[in-house]
Each structure stands twice: as C-alpha cells, then as structure tokens.
Structure 1
Amino acid sequence: MLLQLFQFVVIFTAPSLFYDVLAEERDGGATVEIQQSPVGNGTPEVQIAVADIPLYFSPYAMSPLEAQYAHLFFDPLVRWSTHKELEKRLVSGWLLLKPGVIRFFLKKEISFHSGNKLSSDDVIWTLDQIRKTPHAKAFFTGILKIEKVDQHSFDLHTDLSEDQLLDYLAHFFVLDHAFYESHNITMNNSQDIVNFNSKTLPISGSGPYKINQYNPLLHLRVVSNDKYWGETNVIAGFNFIRIHSANSRLYALLAEDVDICESMAKKDIDTVSHAPSKKLVEISSSEVVFLTISDKRSNVFKRRVARDAVALSINKMGMLKHIVNNLGSVKPYFTAQQNIGDKENKELLEYDARTARNIFSKITMPAELHLLVLVDKAGNTAQIARALLNMMQKVSIKLTITEVSDLQKWNAMSGDYDFTLSSWQFPLLNRDNIYQHLFTDSPLSQYIDALFAESLSDNTLASKISLFEQSQESQWIMPLLFLNTVWASDDKYDLASIFSINSIPYWHLLTVNKP
C-alpha cells in the first residue's frame, strides 16, 4: 500500500522521473494512471508523451519554440499542408508589384488571444523582434523590409525568389505587438510555472490553443481557443507530458497513461505493433544522421586514406536494419534537390572491415580517438555511437564516446573531438533554403563554417554548396542514415493525418476515429 501511494505521488509530481525509473526497472509492479481532466466542453484531454516541453514561449527566442508548439499558439502567414500545398493562413493573398516587392493582404477580423485584432502593425513589429534575435535573424535575412499600406495590407521587400520567400513565411509567426509591449514581455526570458488564473499569460498569438497550465519540469497543458478564426478544434485540450527517455515514453503508452508517444526508439517498434489497441505512425521525414571527421587533434586525418578507412569501417546497412528497423534509407551523399536524394553516378562505399584494418595497420594512428555525440529525441544517435564503437574495435581502433543533449554544450565542445555524430532535420522545402539552414542553423554549422574559413572560395551560396559536396566526397562529412520518424498512439486517434509535408504535427487537426 505504501509503495502504491508513493507511486501515486511521484506520477503527479514528476511523471518523467517516474517513467524513467520504472522503464529501467520493468519489475511488473502496479502502474498508476494519469487522470484525464475534463476541459472545455467536457471532452477528455489527450495525453501526449514528449521528449521535452518548451523553456521559452517565443518562436524567435535563442532557444525557439518547437514547431509543434508554435502552431498551437500562433499562426504563420502561410503554411505547408499535408499534401505539399501552400495554404494561406493569416493572409488571404498576395500580388507581385515588381521584382523584389510583393504586397500581402491580411485576413480581416482575426483576433489574438488577448482580444486585440490582427493588423499590419503586428507583422512589422514581429519583423523588428526577429531582427533583434541573432538566431532568428539568420533565418529571415532575405526579408529586407516591410512597409505598411493599410491596416490589412503591407509591402514586403526581398532579395529572395518568390518560392524561397513563401517557404520562409511558413515559419513567420505573427506576434500580438500591443500585448507584448504593454506587458513588457522579453522573448528570451525562460518561462516560470503558469496557471490558468495567472494575470498575465506568457504569450498572445492567434493560434487554436491557449496555455492552461505549465511546469517546465513536468508538463504543458493547453485548452481550445473558443474564439479561433480557423478550423474548429475537435479536441478540447492537450497535455504534453515531459518524459525524456524514449524507452520511458513507450512504457507510459503501454501502461495506458498516455494516448500518444513522440519519437519512438526504432528497437521498440515490434513491442507496439503487437500491443492491443496501439498503432504505429511512420512519418517520412528529412532527418539525416551525420558523422564528421576533424584533423585538429590528429594530423593523420589530413590524409585521405585514413578518412577512407573510417568510412570502410562503418556498416551503414547493418545499422539501418538493426538500429532503425529499416525505417529510412542509406545513401552515399546528402543533396537538396526537391528533398533528400542521391547524386547521379555515385555509389555507396561498401563496408569492408578487413581492408580498413589493413589500412590502419600501415599508418600511425593515435592510441585513442574521441567521438562527441549529440543525443536525439529517439535515442538513435546514442545507439549509432555504440555501434560505431564496436565497429572501430573490429578494426583495432579504440574509441571514447562523450554524449551531450544540449545544443549550446555541443557547439562549445564539438571542435575538440576527432569525430562528431549528430542528427539534423530541416523544416524547409526550397533547395536553397535547405542549404542555408544547414549552413547557419544546424549542429553542423560550426564545422561547416570552419571549412568555409579554410577554403579560398567566395562566400556565395553556390560556392558553399559546392564545398559541402566536396567535403562529402572526400569523407570529411559522412551521412550515415536518412531516417523516418515513428510515433505511436492509441488506435482511436487519426494521428497520421495531422502531419504536414515537412513532418510538423498540426495538433488542432487531430480527430477521433469513428467506431
């Protein structure tokens, strides 16, 4: 009885801790349900186990609001649908006035959560806030200025093509400038505990849901915005529960304490597929796992033959099969044509441990090599790192692994290692935008910056793309796996239909399947 009471207290105060411990124990003890609170019209809220919940509530903070949450609270000017179509959201249309100048027309009678009406002033003020944030500024440098025409139209000046611009505007979330100015809210302040009765909520957007409760260590509860201008919300509320471990999120799903599980570890897919009333949802994504090699610690990697030996040591097909259950693909190079694709006439370097061992035996290698790993939500990079350790042992190379989960720590440490391992998923669809995101806003950005600095090429995007491709051909940068994302849910929800073409879940589109 005392143990059951202890479990009850823990699950309501720290669900992530409870499941992280319980998943490791797996001792068959009693499980405790998270009670579903009636919200809105009495419909039980949907419980979603996620790896992390926001620390900041601005799409333009130094640690920006993740897309799945941004679309809960804010609306972009346009967005990508589930069928690779561009939907008009806050705008009703646009008109090309002349090259580089486009007039946009806002939809009328759209209200923010505060009750303030959307206007061109909010769009202009939002761009000013973006320019104050270095992280976000790099993303929108192609927007030169925005000029107000009237309350519901504005002229946007850009040096981007129209396709590039619209791709970026799918991530341009408009802020309620009167609310933020009157409450003196700073975008880069992390958010403390929030309850529904607090006098000042941390955000005011035009999105389909509003914050109800928030604890940065535990959960984020949202309720339907009954004055939302767009689609009717079928689900009255969501509770995003922070459970950091992929294994622990699965345990919570199987215990029926959550309805939906984010970013499952691929090794657990068979467990879910055989579970009653549970289903898997595989999302075609743009996630790539990259290995990089540095010669800063060891001059041996200045030699192409040493880098080739590393590539020969890695069994990519084996990792695809045994780590991610073939949910993805192996390709020789990363290119951004329309999406991820193969370069023509390029073949995958075959796994050949015997040849790799022979090469390493003929060159002077360090006694120990060091790998820095940026751990991803699903735990794939951690598993891949362990596989690399075993592969290196087979070719008589000792590898030491350091794991980090924080991007700031990664950026501070990544230059001090022989190898880095990280995953990157790009939210853009335009080819040039994808490369720009890779070069400025990915875990590889610092590494690529160093390559650019050492080269004598000019600073154009075309030159950077060419150098990046050369770095892959010469084995400085190796795409190991191209991954799909796997979610799991109770089979009563139509989860598959809410994901956009760029893998973003639009939670307000979630529906319950008919019996």
Structure 2
Amino acid sequence: MKTAFSTVHMSLLAAVLALGATGAVNAKTPADQLIVGMSMVNLFSIDPANAPGLDASGVNANLYDTLIKRDQGNPERHVPQLAERWEVSEDGKQVTFHLRQDVKFHSGNSLTAEDVAWSLYRVMKLNFGLATTWKAYGYNVDNIQSLIRATDEHTLVIDLPQVMDPLLLVDSLAISPSAVVVDRVTALAHEKNGDLGAGWLVTNEAGSGPFVLTKWSANDSLLLTRFDGYWGGAAKLKRVVVRHMTESQSLRLMLERGDLDLAYGMAAPDIRAIDGSPKLQVQSLPRGTMYYVAMSMKQPEFAKPKVREAVRNLIDYKGLDEQVMPYYGKLNQQPMQLSLEARLPDPGYHMDVAEAKKLLAEAGYPQGFTTTIRTLSEPPFIDIAARLQSTLAEGGIKASIVTGTGNQVYGAMRARNFDIIVARGAERYPHPYFSLRTFVYNPDNSDDAGLPNFQGWRASFFSPQINSLIDKAGVERDASQRVSLYHQAQNLYDQEVGPIMMISQMTDTVVSASDIKGFTGDDAEATRYLGVYKER
C-alpha cells in the first residue's frame, strides 16, 4: 500500500479543504467525492488490534474486511463477506470458513486463510483491550495458533476452547473491531522490535476494503481513495474526504452552503433548525452503544452501595431524555439494548433528592463530599455532565468537571483512575449476552488483570453471582432458560446498585445533502461508503 501523498492528491485535498473558507454561496462539492464533517478527537489509532472507538470503526469498515457481516441488527443471521460459506460442526465445537479466492489486499498481495488466522493471533499477542473478547472465549496467546488455523490457502478452521454457543463466536467475527483481516506480509514488513507492525498501523493500514487510506492528519483531515481492485466491485465515489470539525454551527452552515455533503455529531438545536429542509436529509441511526454515568468503586465513597444508590437518585433521567438527548439517544436504564427479548423493562429510576440525602446520611456523609466528573467537552457528554453536576449538588455532592480528549477521558477509565465519568460504552452487539458481558461482567477484579473492554472491570465492580449467571447463559441452549438467566442478572445488578448507570441508548443523527444516495448507516458504526453516490 502506498501511503505517500502525491502532489495531485495534495492539491486536490487543499482545494477541498479551502472550499469552506471561500464564502461562496450555493457551492457544490465535487460529484465524485464525498466531503464529510465530523469530530476526530477520538480518532487516535486505526490499528485493528487497538482501535475500539466508534470513529475508528467507521474508518476501518472502509479499509478492511471481515469474514462475514451481521445482517443489519439480526444476531442470528449473517451474510458472506470474505468467507463464501461456513459450517458449524454437529457438536458445536468447531466452525469452518471457506474463503473467496479472488481477494487482493491494497498491496496487491492475495488474501489467504493464513492472514485471517494471523490477524486474530496478532490481537492476542499484542494484548490490547480488544483481546478481551477472545480471552473470554478461552483463547490465549499460547493456544490460539493451534485452535485458529489455516488448513489450506482458503480454509480456516476455528476450534472452540470451551463449551459455549458457537453463534457467539460467529457474531464476534462479524462485528468485532478486532475481527478485520490484516495483510500479514505488509504489516510484518513494518515491524519494529517485535511489535507485529503495531507502531506503523496506528496511522497506516494494510487492508482489503473498498477504500485505501491516502492521508491522515490527526485532528485535521483524512482522505480515503477508491480501491479499484476491490473484490466486491469498485466504489461509486473516487474519494471520501473527512474534515475535523467540532462546532455544530459550522457543520450546519457548511451543509446549508453546499460545502459539506454529510455531517456527524451535530447538536440537537442545529438539527432541529434544518430538519425538513428540501436541500438536506436527516437520518437517525440506532446504535448499540450506551451513554452512562459510572462511578469507580475503588473510591471509598462509591464502594458503599448507599452512596451509589444516592447518586442514582440524583440523576435527572427524565430531564436528560427530554432536554439533552433528543437526536443523541433514547432513554434506557438497563445494561442491555432496547428491543431485545431478554431485556427487562426500565426499573423507573427517577430524581429523588430527599431520598438521596437520606441515603448519604446513612452512608456516613450527611454533608455530602467532593468529587470529580470526567467527560469529553463536546455534546452531549458535556451537557450530561453539567446537568449531573447540578443535580448532585442538590444532594450535597460537590463535583467539579474535568474535560479532556477521548484518550485522556477513556484512558483514565481504562486505567481505573477516576471518580465519576460520563461516557459512552462501545457495545455493538444486539445480543443480551454481549450487553451484560460488556457492562456488568468482571471475571478478575485485580488491577493487573488488564480487562479494559469489560466496563465492569474499569469501574471495579465485581459480582461472582452475576458472573455465574452470565456464564451459564452463554452455554445454555434452551431459549426460555437463557432468558430467565438474563432476567436474573438484570435484577441482581439493580439490587447490588451497579456503579455503571445507563441513561440512554445512542442514536446517531447524520445530516446529508439531499442528492446523497445509497447511504445506509450501520448500527455498529461500521458504515461503508461503498455504494454511496451523488444523484446529479
């Protein structure tokens, strides 16, 4: 893959980025390019082994391929991608994938089953947060190469190391950010000190997707160029240019002027102002991720259940849902996605200052205490944090807000070094097992366990009984028994006053020009621009 930025590309990108500064009225973007505006503050790595964020997933979905894809929200149906077909053994202990034979990486190297096996081994060997998914299934750096292996150039055999529903593994291969296939030869050509190309892949790619990464300047711009040799047929657009923009009003102005084709992350007031415009279209994309308020149980105050319950009584769920979250999310108080059969109804948490003060006094804090709230400085995070700061004060808890970049805010949580955090959990799987594992499961509460993809571990929440219920559900084949186990886990989490308190399930609102066609947002933030075009 060529990463050098040619003079032609440089001139083209400069012209595109200058478009918004010309002051031109009724400007039009190039017909063969998609100009996207969005915040890139959370885009700090695109290495598939270490890029769990939604923004990185959105980029990598266009640079890489997975074996299979989930059929838009249906966890029990998957469609072929790199794998033409697959079968599960009768005993449920082995899955065999048969790969396409016409796939080329951007480098020109042929994609083989060995690349697939090595990509998953690489995730385990580097042992970043995304390795957690595979660890949970029983894989480790010592056994993964014998259990996940290529039996020939186009056949991949995966043995399950423990008793489990094989559908869970198939789901992970379809949707996990770490399940994309990396060009082994190219990555290893850039290896330094045994890092398997990790340093290079932070800002470069080695994929087989419909677009090639031509240029990425952190917190500035990103340029994707069509890969004409794509096995699924060349994209309709020649280029996708992403501009780093954090101001919602600027996004709105540039959309209205025609300087942008599509925008993510606009504030609710600006979306309301243009919703219904004949020149623009608004698409609401349901996401599996959750906005939440989390407390660290490593802090002595939040280690006490009555303090956590007090905080739960000082969250203005109704006010947040009605005044802050429109266009951002939908009320959800369970650690499980909406519309799932196994999800219990919301428990009805609501603001109750008197009850909160009573609980704080019983916990030994009649005068309250001081703490901090970490969050991003962009909406809706900062708005949620500001409302929380105000309502906590009504109960006597004085909280100061600490803002930072995505790496700083989430890094503090991954390091288990925070008091309160307003964040968004990257749960993408529409499945009760994955929801509960992400938000309430924690198999090892020690600091050196290194399980940052478990939100429960980040918050130092440890419940052996809940762990056991989730583990049993993961291997239970009887549907009614599975649902019962999921119900028990949700009820127990409520009784134990878990420190991660859901407030809303994410809705991603995308605004685009009316002539943009073929854009269908993926509910896991793996939206591809392969079929997008402009009707002009």
Residue identity opposite 2:224 in structure 1: V
Corresponding residue for residue 506 of structure 1 = 528
Unaligned segments of structure 2, at least 5 residues? 1-12, 442-450, 473-485
**Deviation sequence 1:424-457 (CA, Å, 0-9, x none):** 1312233323333445554834344x222xx565
Q: 1:387 to 1:251 in 2, by over 3 A?
A: farther
C-alpha distance in 2 between matches for 1:192 and 1:102: 31
Q: 1:402 to 1:470 in 2, by over 3 A?
A: farther
Corresponding residue for residue 199 of structure 2 = 189
Q: Does 1:364 find its partner at 2:371?
A: no
Corresponding residue for residue 311 of structure 2 = 310
Corresponding residue for residue 90 of structure 1 = 82
Unaligned segments of structure 1, at least 5 residues? 1-10, 20-28, 194-201
| Aligned residue runs from structure 1 range 331-370, under 5 A | 331-335=332-336, 339=340, 342-343=343-344, 347-356=347-356, 364-366=365-367, 368-370=369-371
C-alpha distance in 2 between matches for 1:357 and 1:83: 42
Task: Tell me the secondary structure at the aligned position of residue 512 of structure 2.
Answer: strand
C-alpha distance in 2 between matches for 1:303 and 1:91: 48
Corresponding residue for residue 285 of structure 1 = 287
Residue identity opposite 1:310 in structure 2: V
| Aligned residue runs from structure 1 range 384-399, under 5 A | 384-399=384-399
> Which sits farther off after the overlay, 137-146 or 222-231?
137-146
C-alpha distance in 1 between matches for 2:533 and 2:32: 13
Corresponding residue for residue 493 of structure 1 = 516
Corresponding residue for residue 26 of structure 1 = none
**How far has the Cα of 1:257 moved from its partner?**
2.3
Corresponding residue for residue 198 of structure 1 = none
**How far has the Cα of 1:458 moved from its partner?**
9.0
CA contact (8 A) 2:321 2:504 kept: yes
Q: Does 1:138 find its partner at 2:106?
A: no
Q: 1:124 to 1:461 in 2, by over 3 A?
A: farther
C-alpha distance in 2 between matches for 1:463 and 1:106: 32
Task: Tell me the secondary structure at the aligned position of residue 498 of structure 1.
Answer: coil
Corresponding residue for residue 484 of structure 1 = 507
C-alpha distance in 2 between matches for 1:370 and 1:271: 37
**How far has the Cα of 1:97 moved from its partner?**
3.9
> Which sits farther off after the overlay, 405-414 or 224-233?
405-414
C-alpha distance in 2 between matches for 1:112 and 1:237: 18
C-alpha distance in 2 between matches for 1:319 and 1:436: 26
CA contact (8 A) 1:191 1:216 kept: no
Query: Which of the residues 251, 261, 264 maps onto 2:263?
Result: 261
Corresponding residue for residue 444 of structure 1 = 455
Corresponding residue for residue 68 of structure 1 = 58
Q: 1:34 to 1:405 in 2, by over 3 A?
A: farther
**Deviation sequence 1:268-313 (CA, Å, 0-9, x none):** 3212216551221111112212223456555487252x44333333
Q: 1:227 to 1:486 in 2, by over 3 A?
A: same
Task: Tell me the secondary structure at the aligned position of residue 472 of structure 1.
Answer: helix
Q: Does 1:375 find its partner at 2:376?
A: yes
Task: Tell me the secondary structure at the aligned position of residue 402 of structure 2.
Answer: strand
Query: Which of the residues 191, 210, 213 maps onto 1:211?
Result: 213
Corresponding residue for residue 116 of structure 2 = 123
Q: Does 1:166 find its partner at 2:177?
A: no
Q: 1:462 to 1:337 in 2, by over 3 A?
A: farther
Q: 1:128 to 1:280 in 2, by over 3 A?
A: same
**Deviation sequence 1:10-31 (CA, Å, 0-9, x none):** x959979x99xxxxxxxxx973
C-alpha distance in 2 between matches for 1:427 and 1:418: 26
C-alpha distance in 1 between matches for 2:357 and 2:368: 15
C-alpha distance in 2 between matches for 1:32 and 1:340: 52
Corresponding residue for residue 178 of structure 1 = 185
**How far has the Cα of 1:79 moved from its partner?**
0.8
Q: CA RMSD in A?
A: 3.8
Q: 1:301 to 1:338 in 2, by over 3 A?
A: same
Q: 1:403 to 1:470 in 2, by over 3 A?
A: farther
Task: Tell me the secondary structure at the aligned position of residue 140 of structure 1.
Answer: helix
C-alpha distance in 2 between matches for 1:33 and 1:72: 32
C-alpha distance in 1 between matches for 2:103 and 2:167: 26
C-alpha distance in 2 between matches for 1:309 and 1:248: 40
Q: 1:214 to 1:350 in 2, by over 3 A?
A: closer
**Deviation sequence 1:355-403 (CA, Å, 0-9, x none):** 5456667863455422323328x62121011111222334444322212
Corresponding residue for residue 9 of structure 2 = none
**Deviation sequence 1:296-335 (CA, Å, 0-9, x none):** 555487252x443333332211111111227643244223
Residue identity opposite 2:272 in structure 1: D
CA contact (8 A) 1:102 1:155 kept: yes
**How far has the Cα of 1:221 moved from its partner?**
0.9
**How far has the Cα of 1:192 moved from its partner?**
9.1
> Which sits farther off after the overlay, 168-177 or 316-325?
168-177
Corresponding residue for residue 103 of structure 2 = 110
C-alpha distance in 2 between matches for 1:218 and 1:116: 31
Count of matched residue positions in the alignment of Structure 1 and Structure 2 = 476
| Aligned residue runs from structure 1 range 242-257, under 5 A | 242-257=244-259
TM-score (norm 1): 0.79
C-alpha distance in 1 between matches for 2:29 and 2:95: 47
CA contact (8 A) 2:189 2:197 kept: no
CA contact (8 A) 2:101 2:154 kept: yes
**How far has the Cα of 1:230 moved from its partner?**
0.3
> Which sits farther off after the overlay, 474-483 or 357-366?
357-366
Task: Tell me the secondary structure at the aligned position of residue 199 of structure 2.
Answer: coil
C-alpha distance in 2 between matches for 1:46 and 1:391: 43
CA contact (8 A) 1:404 1:410 kept: no
C-alpha distance in 2 between matches for 1:250 and 1:161: 46
Corresponding residue for residue 6 of structure 2 = none
